[in-house]
Amino acid sequence: MADAPVAGLHARELRRDEARERLAMFGLSLPAIVLVVAVIMIPVGWLFWLSLFNDEGMLSLSNYTRMLESKSYTRIFLTTFNVSVLTTGICVLIGYPFAYCLSQLPKRWAAVGLYALLLPFWTSLLVRTYAWLVVLQRKGLVNQWGIELGLWEQPLKLVHNLNGTLVGMVHIMLPFLVLPLYGSMRAISFDYIKAASNLGASPTRAFWSVFFPLSLPGLFAGMVVVFVLCLGFFVTPAVLGGGRVVMVSMKIETLIDLFFNFGTASALGVVLLVLTLAVLFLAHRLLHLDRVLGGGRSP
């Protein structure tokens, strides 16, 4: 019977220690919490507050109802998601073979390939975009060489349309897909491929049955990052699209710069934020992002 009060006292001491530890952890994380609130939560809340005022400065949902009623806003959102999906798909088609080749090379040569991949990051995004404009325009390098080699007679329309926008965005977003994919592939032990070969699998079957499934975490992580970043692109579609490819960010800039309409611009930003969060939520539910973003794990 004497052990019961001692056990209860010990349990209370453990609870107090746990409470002090949680309080200490909260104190350590408090500066980060304050920074997140000041930098993210307050601006987003202010954005949502501005979206609730109409042109006359009255509280109203007219900015949101206008987006539901106007087909132009629907086309803008469809264009934004269409460009994001196409950019992500092209990055996968180019990035997966490239990452696979890097993962099979010795680390020294793989590092050279990664340096070449990251080399464009040493220059400004605006500079890279205008460089593509110089290369792809009607009198640019591509059209001049194509005409001189007899590949085509008239200059091709490679800029101021969807084609130029995709070229520029893929060039910028490709590293964001290759880096997590390369890390996932490097984490795969080659012993599993050898085991599949010893069991009679051909190299092609060993790749699709063993290597490819193990690389999916890095692939999905890169796809989510590329797609979400593409949703908010502005400079590249504005320059290479020539006004023919209008994305949500460009419409927001037009509403503020030309019409000084912060209400509608804020509503567009809120809707885009909600759609982005919805995409992340669906990706988390379907792909289990908590495990996917951790990279490839061998079973």
**pLDDT for 182-199, tens place per residue?**
999 998 888 888 888 888
In degrees, to the nearest 5, what angle opens at C-alpha 68 toward C-alphas 63 and 70?
A: 90
Each domain of the chain, given as residue ranges in start order, spans 1-50, 69-292
More confident of the two residues 51 and 295: 51
What is the band of 26 on the pLDDT scale with cuts at 50, 70, 90?
A: confident
Average pLDDT over the chain, rounded to whole?
86
Chain CA centroid to CA 23, Å: 35
Give one DSSP letter per residue of the chain, joined into a string: -THHHHHHHHHHHHHHHHHHHHHHHHHHHHHHHHHHIIIIIHHHHHHHHHTTB-TTS-B-SHHHHHHHH-HHHHHHHHHHHHHHHHHHHHHHHHHHHHHHHHHHS-HHHHHHHHHHHHGGGGS-HHHHHHHHHHHHSTTSHHHHHHHHTTS-SS----SSSHHHHHHHHHHHHHHHHHHHHHHHHHTS-THHHHHHHHTT--HHHHIIIIIHHHHHHHHHHHHHHHHHHHHT--HHHHHHSTTSS--HHHHHHHHHHTS--HHHHHHHHHHHHHHHHHHHHHHHHHH-HHHHTT-----
Answer yes or no: is pLDDT of 214 > 70: yes
What pLDDT, on a 0 to 100 scale, did the predictor assign at position 9?
A: 64
Q: Tokens representing 82? A: 């269409």
How many angstroms separate the CA atoms of 262 and 255, rounded?
A: 7
At residue 119, the pLDDT reads 87
Read off the pLDDT of each residue in 69-86 and give the average, rounded to a whole number. 93
Tell me the pLDDT tens digit for each residue of 114-169.
Answer: 999 988 888 888 899 999 998 999 888 888 998 888 888 888 888 999 999 999 99
**Residue 282, beta-bridge partner list:** none
Query: 101-121: string of b/e by CB count within 10 Å (b at 16+)?
Result: ebbeeeeeebeebbeebeebe
**Closest of 237, 235, 236, 225 to residue 276, by C-alpha:** 225
Give the residue-averaged pLDDT of 25-48: 86
Buried b (16+ CB within 10 A) or exposed e, 9-25: eeeeeeeeeeeeeeeee
Q: What is the mean pLDDT of residues 42-62?
A: 85
What confidence tier does 6 reach under pLDDT thresholds 50, 70, 90?
Answer: low
Q: Report d(CA 288, CA 284) in Å as an integer.
A: 5
Q: Which amino acid is at 4?
A: A
The average pLDDT across 75-81 equals 94
pLDDT tens for 229-272 read 999 999 999 999 988 899 999 999 998 888 888 888 999 999 99
Share of the chain above pLDDT 90, in %: 36
The residue to which tokens 């290369």 are assigned = 135
| Dist CA 173 CA 183 (whole Å) | 17
Structurally, what CATH architecture does the domain formed by 69-292 represent?
A: Orthogonal Bundle (1.10)
